[in-house]
Structure 1
Amino acid sequence: MVLAPEAAMSQYSPGFLLLPIPEYPALDCAPNKILKLVVLGGSSVGKTALVVRFLTKRFIGDYEANTGALYSRKFTIDGEQISLQVQDTPFVSLEEDTDSICCQEQINRSIYWADGFVFVYSITDYESFRLLRPLHQHIRRIHPNANIPLLLMANKGDLLRARQVSSKEGLQLAVELGGTHCEVSARESCEGVRDAFQQLCQELSRSGGGCNGEKRRGLHLVRPKSPNMQDLKRRLKQALTSKGKSATAL
């Protein structure tokens, strides 16, 4: 598989694009295949950090609270031009004293829109792991008869002394939900993050559409709300400015 060779991957930092989803994608007219991923998970598990690592190779530890951003990039899988759209989302939580999830309507729109899913949890936060099964059940209610391409991404793999979720538990849940599993550290390295996203993109590309295959035969897709096109650039600049001020203070 070739998903943007290393030389091309190095181009992610200067000039990545932030594009809104069109209201009614003219997929039959589009020259390139479009893959749509939504990144879901609990609070403070590192969803945005992982997306930024994948798209730019950079790690910035501090972000403002995420309200849901859509990032888009063109690259190549197995010689074919692909347009990848990655929807970051606000956090999902469990209803108090239940196994039902509580999520914003924006997340439901993103779930309906997506071809594939990235579930993110922190190995240092068992509650973030515990909500994944109810989250999958929620997605299954929205896509009752569809294939659900799924990646379980265990973040903060560098914090082994604070581990609350074992690798075995993550693997077992991935098998149960019919997905794949990887353990990464957005802080330490981009390679594992990149490889995990690449594997899911390849699966989507070869399967021909994931959850939304049936909707593309005639139904318009409801797009998730997207922020200003310069959102990621602004957030990166804000975080870098904050880091610079902290260094000056020291």
Structure 2
Amino acid sequence: MLFLSWDTMSQFSTNFLLVPIPEYPILDCAPNKIIKLVVLGGSSVGKTALVVRFLTKRFIGDYEANTGALYSRKFTIDGEQISLQVQDTPFVSLEDENICCQEQINRSIYWADSFVFVYSITDYDSYRVIRPLHQHVRKIHPNANIPLLLMANKGDLLRARQVSAKEGRQLANELGCPYSEVSARENCEGVQEAFKQLCQEMSRMIGSCNGEKRRGLHLVRPKSPNMQDLKRRLKQALSSKGKATTML
């Protein structure tokens, strides 16, 4: 298996696309060399654009509605061979100050051991989502020391700004995590550096375990990040409904 440095990834052609992890992947990295990262945030904040920038250094302006893709890359960081798994997610919303998210997002949170919270500087509601979203993650992982990153996206749209950099830094201080204001459209280096620092922190935490299994995290991978499980459930529900109609 080829392990890629950060610079090597950018040398691939346009055929270098994001490749979903197989349902039961065969990994040549030891379990303690796997970084499981989930990107979370509100609607239209640019989560997918940031993931694509991070993994490929490319920007694509238009995306289909996110269904929660899971991507895998291998690279070398601080001299260590690391398998990185990045879970993109559908959007999270607020209703009466309560988090509303799909079940697959909860599965992803259980699975992950590091998180990137994303909001848009042009959408104050997406900023408001972050605090209760963080509380939701902490309820799932109450005792775990989880590396976090707060990213404010769309930093190129200053005229449409609704969230100040000061508010972003204050929130990051409250969450106890680094803060980075970036633009997926125009700031490839900033996006790369922010993600890289989080991966470096996670790599150091893994190393401090001295090969022992990481504790406090639910490390079971979500069974169906590409919504195949949801499709199966829908098919079963339609089948049951059809049987009930026949009986009537």
Shorter-chain TM-score range: 0.7 to 0.9
Superposition map of 1:1-250 within 5 A:
4-11=5-12, 14-16=15-17, 18-20=19-21, 30=30, 33-95=33-95, 98-208=96-206, 213-214=214-215, 221-223=220-222, 225-227=224-226
Task: Kindly state the Cα deviation for residue 31 of structure 1 after the two structures are TM-superposed.
Answer: 7.7
For 1:190 and 1:61, the matched residues in 2 are separated by 14
2:240 matched residue in structure 1: none
Task: Kindly state the Cα deviation for residue 32 of structure 1 after the two structures are TM-superposed.
Answer: 7.5
Instruction: Look up the equivalent residue of 2:34 and give its one-letter code.
Output: I
For 1:103 and 1:17, the matched residues in 2 are separated by 24
Instruction: Look up the equivalent residue of 1:79 and give its one-letter code.
Output: G
RMSD of aligned Cα (Å): 2.6
2:242 matched residue in structure 1: none
Query: Larger Cα Rg: Structure 1 or Structure 2?
Result: 2
Cα offsets for 1:26-75 (capped at 9, x unmatched): 89x73871101000000000000000111111111111100100011000
Q: Compute the TM-score of the two structures, normalised by the length of structure 1.
A: 0.80
Task: Kindly state the Cα deviation for residue 9 of structure 1 after the two structures are TM-superposed.
Answer: 3.7
Closer, same or farther: CA 160–26 of 1 in aligned 2, 3 Å: closer
Task: Kindly state the Cα deviation for residue 12 of structure 1 after the two structures are TM-superposed.
Answer: 7.9
Task: Kindly state the Cα deviation for residue 15 of structure 1 after the two structures are TM-superposed.
Answer: 3.5
Instruction: Look up the equivalent residue of 2:225 and give its one-letter code.
Output: S
Identity %: 71
- Report if the CA contact (8 A) 2:32-2:206 is conserved: no
Task: Kindly state the Cα deviation for residue 18 of structure 1 after the two structures are TM-superposed.
Answer: 1.7
Report how many residues are paired.
220
Instruction: Look up the equivalent residue of 2:46 and give its one-letter code.
Output: G
For 1:16 and 1:131, the matched residues in 2 are separated by 30
Instruction: Look up the equivalent residue of 1:109 and give its one-letter code.
Output: R
Instruction: Look up the equivalent residue of 1:73 and give its one-letter code.
Output: R
**Secondary structure of 1:168's partner?**
helix
Closer, same or farther: CA 36–182 of 1 in aligned 2, 3 Å: same
Cα offsets for 1:88-135 (capped at 9, x unmatched): 00000001xx22100011000000100100001000000000110000
Instruction: Look up the equivalent residue of 2:195 and give its one-letter code.
Output: F
- Report if the CA contact (8 A) 2:41-2:119 is conserved: yes
**Secondary structure of 1:38's partner?**
strand
Q: Which stretches in structure 1 are left out of the alignment for 5+ residues?
A: 229-250
For 2:204 and 2:112, the matched residues in 1 are separated by 16
- Report if the CA contact (8 A) 1:38-1:111 is conserved: yes
**Secondary structure of 1:134's partner?**
helix
For 1:57 and 1:222, the matched residues in 2 are separated by 27
For 2:190 and 2:219, the matched residues in 1 are separated by 35
1:235 matched residue in structure 2: none
